[in-house]
Amino acid sequence: MINGKQTLLNTMIAVVLLGLFAASADAQVVRWAGEVDVERPGVLHAPDAAVSPVDPPLTLSRFGSGFRYAGLAQLLGVSPHVLANADVIAFEGNGGHGAGVNNGWESSVWTFSDPTHTYVARYRETQPVGGPGNDPAVVATGSITAAAYRAFFGMCPPTSGDPDAVISFILFNLRSVRPGLDTHHPSFSIRIENFTTDGEGTPDPDAVGILSTCDCSEAP
């Protein structure tokens, strides 16, 4: 009887550990921007639904320590493969729907810089992501409900604000373009500008981060 109970206990422990391992394997690490060159405090740090206009253009830098998020791909509605291959993620507030044919971010000009190279990406909301009319660095965009966004990032209460609002996201893969960029360099920066000649083109970002990895073997 004791052996039977011990076997059951061992099985239960194994199931719990397997679940924790699966959740850990599914987790994505994000390093949020910690500094902006103009007075836009709402765009800094982890998502908090405090959106900021891009007028004038703003430059983000000093991306901080990583935060692990399990289930981020499911929240965005993208495949884990797409998310794993992205280098930059950003969120912006919208009204009752996302912008353009992709139902996502509004048109915008992004300048990614490290000490050696600079890459300028022009995202066009009027052109499909992955099509010849859009920038190849953009790998996904779309929108989720503001309630789901607030709940996922632990805002309280998750249902406050406009019940019809959505939060749009955009993902960039900077490894797929040239020149290559070192997103982990301490001086890596991201500049965002409005792109009003292509659709709405006036995004209101809430948070911008670098997608990273975390070696759990280094944890204490």
Span 6-23, pLDDT tens digits:
443 343 333 333 333 333
How far apart CA 201 and CA 186 sit, in angstroms, is 29
Count CB neighbours of 184 within 10 A: 13
> What's residue 162's pLDDT?
74
Q: Which two tokens stand for residue 118?
A: 């600079």
The distance from CA 13 to its chain's CA centroid, rounded to whole angstroms, is: 34
Per-residue pLDDT of the chain (220 residues; tens, 9 = 90+): 445 444 433 433 333 333 333 334 457 999 999 999 998 889 999 999 999 999 999 999 999 999 999 999 999 999 999 999 999 999 999 988 999 999 999 999 999 999 999 999 999 999 999 999 999 999 999 999 999 999 999 998 766 667 778 999 999 999 888 888 999 999 999 999 999 999 999 999 999 999 987 654 443 3
DSSP-assigned letter for residue 43: G
Residue located via tokens 């992501």? 129
Dump pLDDT digits (tens) for 174-193. Answer: 988 888 899 999 999 999 99
How far apart CA 170 and CA 100 sit, in angstroms, is 13
Q: Which two tokens stand for residue 38?
A: 């103009």
Beta bridge partners of 93: 167
Segments of 62-145 assigned E as strands: 66-70, 88-94, 108-113, 118-123, 138-145
